[in-house]
Structure formats: structure tokens, C-alpha cells
Amino acid sequence: MRRSFLLLLGFFFIQLVTAQEEKVDMDMMNKIRKEGLENSRVMEIAMYLTDVSGPRLTASPGYMKAATWAKNKLNEWGLSNANLEPWGEFGKGWEQTKCYVAMSAPYYMPLIAMPRAWTGSTPGEGVIKGEVVLIKANDSAELMKYAGKLKDKIVMTWSSAKLSPSFEADGRRFADTTLDKMAKAEPRPQGQGGGQRNQGNNPQFSQFQLQRRMNEMINRENPALVLTMTARGNDGTIFVSSGGQYQKDASIAPASVVLSSDDYLRIQRLIESGVPVTLEAEIKTKFYTDDLKGYNVIAEIQGTDKSLKEELVMLGGHLDSWHAATGATDNAAGCAVMMEAIRILKATGFKPRRTIRIALWSGEEQGLHGSRNYVRNHFADTARTSSTRNNAKVSAYYNLDNGTGRIRGIYLQGNKAAGPIFAKWLEPFQDLGAATVTINNTGGTDHLAFDAFGIPGFQFIQDAIEYDTRTHHTNMDTYDHLVPEDLKQAATIVAAFVYNTAQRDQKIPRKINSQNQGQANRGF
């Protein structure tokens, strides 16, 4: 007990000394603030990534257009080695070229619809028309009643969903009490929580299994069009992802669209009431197979310190999006902020000690493919499931991917030793609402690829705004849902973090545990 107490006391003493000795160049912080808040170009960058480029599904023409524009802009700003770097095989590109769905009987009504990614086209050259078949099955036996009856039909499956009014605003910011709770959080012991559920007796799991079998049967039947209901959302917002597979040898799934919940449930009620529903539709999609590789956008500001220039400070976000809109908050916002942070540093005439490398990832939406493969290609010996010498050269990776909201602080991802350093760096920006340092982890995006191999990888805390309620993966994820002042603030703080990391005498400390190597050994 006494030895543990002394070790803990020593750790807190080191933290206190680190916080006291951490230096912040206030003259440079003021230059960064002035450039970032008064001369910002973040919204111009965002417009080119969204309105001009369009949807950016990985390997699609829209993604390549945005990636090429970003590469050329970084090159124009004077970065070196700007390129579209292949990370490995991804699969087929895909885009929608036409989408029209309307109810023609019992009356005419245009429907809010969007094709699901990597699904096919409706048959023939023009509009198809047909009565909707509602599949209602509680088990496999009931499902088999529809076998052999769905070819060339327009089909939908029964939903138990019910809409209810929302009494909360779509947009929100973190309350001070929430941020205070995050700042006071303690690290969880390894292995705490996350126990395995008994899936065999879980009603939700059983329903999922039935739905999967239903989808497989429907696809085998080769219907003309499959209707699905948005997984969440109301008021015309639809959440859209994939309905097919992008692997090079995967078969093409039938044409499939997501309908708004209002439209879907209306059709279902009519059919259940004995009123036939006829739809007309024309869905056209296109697959791209000439180049199956995935590409990240990579560029650098070369370091100038003889002893430190081989070390790296990295920043990035994922450039790919889903296709229902133009991927503004997910994640053109993050990419625009990271590009703007680089522009801010270049505009100040900054010559970093360490090399600064920006990365805009592809394939994040399909499983962090771009960042994971980048880390494997550059910083990991996958044959030995271990890190390489280049891994140790990376001081830190900073990520932004939680929408348009301003930065309120940073998640330490369990890296307690980095806490006092980041707290000091945030002090000049407390008036901009950024002060919280939390030991908490956050997941679901590209910093995890670095953290898995022991590289300090961090995601910033951001106000959610409308992210989960309105824009994330939806037809509403457009430029006009971006908040300019929040993105200016975020780019300014990111630029300061990158500057401080590049100039610091030591690299950002790493977590001391075996968890990261364990993730690597499990083939993260």
C-alpha cells in the first residue's frame, strides 16, 4: 500500500511540474487567433468540399473530385509532398444518377426517397409502376409464404414504428455542468463494463436475425424495388447508408430506397386497411470498377530542426461521406477546419521544428479503412503485429469529426500524462469556450487507428449542435447547417495545438499499458 501511495504521489508531482513548466508562446497564440478569427477562409473551403464537390462516398467521382481539389489547394498553400496516396484495395465506386419515387394511387403524392449505397437500378429504361407488396412475417415459416412471389415487385416490410412529437430542440451545446462532470471523470479500470450479452435470448437480436433473413430472401427474389424506412428521424429527415456491398466480387443488390418515416407508415396503413397502393419509380445508379483502390489526401509542412524534423505532428479528419446530401457536418466540417488550421499556420510564416502532416481520410464510413491502413502501412509491422521505428516518431495525431460545433476541450483517450499539457494549451482560449480536458475515451472515428498502435491519438470535444438529431448521415447534411463562427473557433484552437506540439522540446507522452499492443495483436 505504501509503495502504491508513493508511486501515485510521484505521478501527481510529475504532472504538477509538467503543468508549471509547459510553455505557451502568447505572441504566437495571438497571431493564430487574429488570422483564424479575423481572416478565416474555413467556409470557403467547406463550400468547395460540399456544394462544389457534391456527395463524397468513398471511391465515387464526388470523393475523387473533393480529394483532388484539397490536394491542389494544399499544394497552392506551399505544402510539400501533396498527393492522393493509395492505402490498398477498397472496392467498387458508386453513385446515384436518378431518383424518382411517387405514389400514384389511391392519389398522387411525391415521396421523400433516397437510394441506398451500392444498390442497383430499377429494371428497364424508364419509370416502373406497380402495386406495393407488404411483407408481414413474425418468423421464418411466415416469411416463406412470400417465396417465389416477389420477382419484379415493389416490396416493403412491416414496421412497428410509431412517430411521436419531439419536445426538445434539435440543436444543443454542452452545459457547464456536463463539461464539469467530464473534467472530473476518473479512468475506468481495464475490463470494467462491456460484458457480453446473451444474444440467444435477446428479443432485439432475434428480430435482427429475422430481418436479416428477410432481406436475404427478398434479394434472392430479385424485386424491381425495395422500400425501407429511415432508421430514425422525422419531419422529412432520412438517415441513409448502404444496402449493398462494395467488394469487387460482390453481386449487385436490387434497387433499394429509404423513405421518410411519414411516407413509409402512410403506405403501410393504407395497405393494412385494404387500400391498394401503387407507386411509380425510376432509380438509376452507377458502379465504378476501373480503379478499386482507396485514396487519402496527404501533405506536409517540413520540419526545420535538425534533431526533430524527422518527427511528426499529424492532424486530420475523414473526407468521405454518405450520399444523401453533401456531407457537410460529417465530415466536410472537420476537413475544412484541419485545412484551415494549416492555412493559418502558413499565413503566420511559421517554420515548425517537427514536420506537420495533414491527412484527409477515405473509407471512414465503412470502418476507418483509410486511417487504419495508413497506420498499418507507415507505423506498424503487421507481420509481427507490432510497431515500427517510425511509430515512435509520431508525437500526436489530432482528429475532428463530431459536426459543426465549436471545440469545448479534448478527450485524453485515457492518456492521463497529456492532461496537464493540454490544459495549459487551452488557457489562452477559455474566453472562446474551450477549457475542458477529460480522461474519457470517445470512439467511432479515425483517432482510434493511431491509439490502437500506441500513438497518442485525440479527438476534440465539440458541441453537438444538430449532429445526432438532424444532420449525421442524413439528407439534411448540407452547407447551410454549418455554423461559421464555431468552425473559425475550432480551426484556431487546432492550429494552436499543432503549433505547440511541433515546437515542444519533447513529444506528447504515451500511455503506459498493454492495451494498445493487445488491440494490435487482435488485428485492429
The model's pLDDT over 480-509, given as tens digits with 9 standing for 90+, comes to 999 999 999 999 999 999 999 999 999 999
Smallest CA-to-CA distance from 453 within 394, 369, 370 is with: 394
Cα–Cα dist 208/140, whole Å = 12
Query: How far, in Å, are 106, 188, 358 from residue 507 at the CA level?
Result: 68, 25, 18
Q: Report the Cα 227 to chain-centroid distance in Å.
A: 26
Cα–Cα dist 482/477, whole Å = 9
Tens digits of per-residue pLDDT, 250-308?
A: 999 999 999 999 999 999 999 999 999 999 999 999 999 999 999 999 999 999 999 99
Mean pLDDT along residues 82-99: 98
Summary mean pLDDT of the chain: 90
Cα–Cα dist 425/486, whole Å = 19
pLDDT at 167 over 90: no
Smallest CA-to-CA distance from 305 within 456, 31, 504 is with: 504
Ordered by where they begin, the domains of the chain are 24-90+292-521 (3.40.630.10), 96-162+199-288 (3.50.30.30)
Cα–Cα dist 58/339, whole Å = 19
Give the least confident one: 81-90, 156-165, 442-451: 156-165
Residue 49 vs residue 10, higher pLDDT: 49
Mean pLDDT along residues 501-524: 70
* Per-residue pLDDT, 138: 84
Q: What is the DSSP letter of 69?
A: H
pLDDT at 204 over 70: no
Mean pLDDT along residues 132-153: 90
- Specify whether the CB–CB gap between 190 and 221 falls below 8 A: no
pLDDT at 121 over 60: yes
Mean pLDDT along residues 378-407: 87
212-215-218 Cα angle (round to 5): 150
Q: Where are the beta strands (DSSP E) in 1-123?
A: 80-89, 93-105, 109-110, 113-115
The segment with the largest mean pLDDT, out of 232-241, 319-328, 513-522, is: 319-328
Q: What is the dihedral of CA 393, 398, 401, 405, to 10 degrees?
A: -170
- Whether pTM > 0.75 for this model: the answer is yes
* Per-residue pLDDT, 232: 81
* Per-residue pLDDT, 388: 77
Tally of CA atoms within 13 A in the half-sphere of 213 that contains its CB: 16
φ, ψ (nearest 5 deg) of residue 95? -155, 155
Mean pLDDT along residues 344-363: 98
* Per-residue pLDDT, 383: 55
Q: Which helix (H) or strand (E) holds 226?
A: strand 225-229
Residue 64 vs residue 234, higher pLDDT: 64
